[in-house]
C-alpha cells in the first residue's frame, strides 16, 4: 500500500510511536487520531491542523461505539487502521504496589479496543475500492513473556492470535490484517526501563515500511533475533525474555 492520499486511523497518536507516525504521515494523507481527551491531544491538533481527532478513552469500552459511529459517518471509506495504543503496568502480582484496579483498563486499551474498533470500523474498511489494512502494533513479548507485566504480555499474545484469526475471516475481502512485532522502544511507557532501546522514530518508520510492503508479519529490530532463537534454542530465548 502506497501511503499517499489515504484515510488513516491511528489510536494513541499523542506520544511515542503513534506521535511519530502522525508526524510522518500527516502531510501526504488524511490522518485521523483516536485518543483520550487531554492537553496532549489538543497540542497534537494544534501542531498538525490537517488531522482529525476523535476523543475516546480506550480504557473505557463504553466510548468505542460513539467515537466509531462519528468517524464512520465522516469517513465512508478508510484505507488503514493502525491499532497502536497500549499501556503497561509493570508490578508483579506479589509487589506491594500492584494495582488490582488497573487490570481491566490495561486489557481494554491493549486488546478490547483492538477487537472492538476492528469491528466497528470494518464497514468503512470494506467500503474501500482498493486494498485496506488493519495494522496491529504488537510486541516481542507476545512470543515469549517476561516476568513482570503479566497482563501486558497476555494482551499482546492474545492480539497475535486475534490478528491471525481475523485475517482468516477476511481472506475473501479487500481487508488484510497485519502485525508489527516491536522490541523495547524508547517511549514514555518504557521510561527508566531497559537499555539499547529502539527510537520511537525508527520504530514508526519500520512499521510504516512494513505496511507499505503489506508484510503480514513485520519483525522489527531485535525481534528478528528472538524469532530465530525461538526456533533453534527456545529455552535460551525464553530465559532471556523472562529476565527482561
pLDDT tens, residue by residue, 14-27: 999 999 999 999 99
| Residue 101 clears pLDDT 70, i.e. is over it | yes
| Residue 195 clears pLDDT 90, i.e. is over it | no
Band of residue 196 on the pLDDT scale cut at 50, 70, 90: confident
State mean pLDDT over 1-6.
96
As a whole-number percent, the residues of the chain with pLDDT over 90 amount to 92
pLDDT for 237: 94
Q: Which domains does the chain have, with CATH numbers?
A: 7-242 (3.40.50.720)
Band of residue 12 on the pLDDT scale cut at 50, 70, 90: very high
Query: What single string gives the DSSP state of each residue in the chain?
Result: ---SS-EEEEES-SSHHHHHHHHHHTTTSEEEEEE--SHHHHHHHHH-TTSEEEE--TT-GGGHHHHHHHHHHH-S--SEEEE---------TTSTT--GGGHHHHHIIIIIHHHHHHHHTHHHHHT-SS-EEEEEEEEGGGTS--SS-HHHHHHHHHHHHHHHHHHHHTTTSSEEEEEEEE--EESGGGTT--SSPEEHHHHHHHHHHHHHTT-SEEE-TTHHHHHHHHHH-HHHHHHHHHT-
As a whole-number percent, the residues of the chain with pLDDT over 70 amount to 98
| Residue 81 clears pLDDT 70, i.e. is over it | yes
pTM of the full predicted structure? Answer: 0.95
State mean pLDDT over 221-227.
96
State mean pLDDT over 26-54.
96
pLDDT for 129: 87
Band of residue 194 on the pLDDT scale cut at 50, 70, 90: low
pLDDT for 193: 67
Q: What are phi and psi of 12, to 5 degrees?
A: 65, 50
pLDDT higher at 186 or 145: 145
pLDDT for 191: 66
Amino acid at each position: 500500500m502506497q501511503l499517499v492520499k489515504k484515510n488513516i486511523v491511528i489510536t494513541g497518536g499523542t506520544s511515542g510511536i503513534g506521535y511519530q507516525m502522525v508526524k510522518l504521515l500527516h502531510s501526504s494523507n488524511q490522518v485521523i487520531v483516536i485518543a483520550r481527551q487531554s492537553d496532549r491531544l489538543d497540542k497534537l491538533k494544534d501542531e498538525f491542523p490537517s488531522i482529525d481527532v476523535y476523543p475516546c478513552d480506550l480504557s473505557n469500552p463504553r466510548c468505542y461505539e460513539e467515537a466509531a459511529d462519528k468517524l464512520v459517518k465522516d469517513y465512508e471509506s478508510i484505507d488503514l487502521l493502525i491499532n497502536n495504543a497500549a499501556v503497561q503496568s509493570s508490578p508483579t502480582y506479589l509487589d506491594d504496589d500492584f494495582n488490582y484496579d488497573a487490570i481491566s483498563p490495561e486489557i481494554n486499551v491493549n486488546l478490547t479496543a483492538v477487537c472492538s474498533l476492528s469491528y466497528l470500523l470494518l464497514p468503512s474498511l470494506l467500503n474501500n475500492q482498493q486494498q485496506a489494512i488493519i495494522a496491529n502494533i504488537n510486541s516481542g513479548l507476545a512470543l515469549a513473556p517476561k516476568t513482570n507485566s503479566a497482563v501486558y504480555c497476555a494482551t499482546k499474545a492474545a492480539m497475535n492470535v486475534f490478528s491471525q484469526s481475523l485475517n482468516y475471516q477476511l481472506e475473501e475481502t479487500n481487508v488484510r490484517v497485519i502485525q508489527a512485532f516491536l522490541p523495547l522502544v524508547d517511549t514514555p511507557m518504557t521510561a527508566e526501563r531497559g537499555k539499547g532501546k529502539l527510537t520511537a522514530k525508527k520504530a514508526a518508520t519500520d512499521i510504516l515500511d512494513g505496511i507499505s510492503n503489506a508484510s503480514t508479519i513485520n519483525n522489527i529490530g531485535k525481534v528478528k533475533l528472538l524469532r530465530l532463537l525461538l526456533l533453534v534454542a527456545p529455552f535460551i530465548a525464553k530465559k532471556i525474555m523472562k529476565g527482561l
